[in-house]
């Protein structure tokens, strides 16, 4: 398949912030993703109280859903508006604090302590800052990353995973010559080579 038309496309952080400002967020869904419900057992694999990572989290409702099941959630998102909207829309009190290791970054944490959302670029994170995770929900994340940054993104994700963690990845399949993305088309063959 030819992904040539997308491989040089770049969406800047500024453009993402603008999408949030304009309410141009068709990617946000009010209902828990049906594939997360379907594959929840694969993610949990019989375990309780997991640390679950949401890369490029937006205001994904699945964060609340999994937190309500007793898991702790860490997300990262460049849009402060998205993170504030998340807590407000779920009526969750939260506090806001700087992240000493990352200049300009903020951490928003639910008062109950089980949801921590970092406002910064995912590329600013490392396991020494956020620790490692038992599970990852990657929907609208790998497919939103600029094609030129995919390997960097995946290498980072691998460093954030515990030995026995599970990673649920949602991709979209379409003709990349007909839409410019995001979401970008990431063929299965590329996913295999990215994750090794």
Binding residues for S-adenosyl-L-methionine: 16-27, 56, 77, 121-122, 139
DSSP H or E stretch at residue 125 = none
- Using the rule CB under 6 A, give the single segment among 50-58, 93-101, 109-117, 155-163 that binds ligand SAH: 50-58
- Rounded distance, CA 40 to CA 79, Å? 27
Binder among 6, 72, 79, 109 for ligand SAH (CB under 6 A): 79
Binder among 140, 147, 176, 181 for ligand SAH (CB under 6 A): 140
What are the φ and ψ backbone dihedral angles of 75, each rounded to 5 degrees?
Answer: -130, 165
- 93 is written with which tokens? 């009190």
Q: How many CB atoms lie within 10 A of CB 75?
A: 27
| Contact by Cβ (8 Å): 139, 33 | yes
Residue 78 as a binder of ligand SAH (CB under 6 A): the answer is yes
Residue 126 contacts by C-beta under 8 Å, 6 or more apart in sequence? Answer: 156, 159
Per-residue binding letters, 7-46, with ligand SAH (x by CB under 6 A):
---------x----------xx------------------
Per CB under 6 A, residues contacting ligand SAH are 16, 27-28, 56-58, 60, 76-79, 82, 121-123, 139-141, 144
């Amino acid at each position: 398949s030819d992904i040539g038309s997308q491989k040089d496309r770049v969406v800047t952080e500024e453009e993402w912030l603008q999408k949030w400002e304009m309410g141009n967020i068709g990617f946000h869904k009010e209902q828990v993703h049906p594939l997360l419900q379907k594959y929840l057992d694969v993610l949990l694999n019989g375990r309780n109280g997991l640390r679950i990572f949401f890369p490029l989290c937006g205001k994904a409702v699945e964060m609340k859903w999994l937190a309500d099941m007793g898991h702790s959630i860490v997300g990262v998102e460049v849009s402060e508006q998205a993170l504030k909207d998340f807590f407000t829309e779920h009526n969750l009190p939260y506090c806001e604090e700087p992240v000493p290791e990352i200049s300009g970054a903020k951490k928003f944490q639910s008062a109950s302590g089980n949801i921590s959302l970092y406002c910064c670029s995912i590329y600013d994170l490392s396991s020494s800052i956020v620790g490692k995770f038992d599970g990852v929900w990657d929907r609208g994340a790998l497919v939103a990353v600029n094609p030129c940054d995919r390997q960097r993104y995946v290498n980072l994700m691998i460093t954030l995973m515990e030995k026995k963690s599970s990673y649920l990845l949602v991709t979209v399949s379409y003709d990349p010559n007909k839409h410019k993305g995001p979401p970008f088309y990431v063929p299965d063959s590329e996913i295999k080579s990215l994750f090794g």
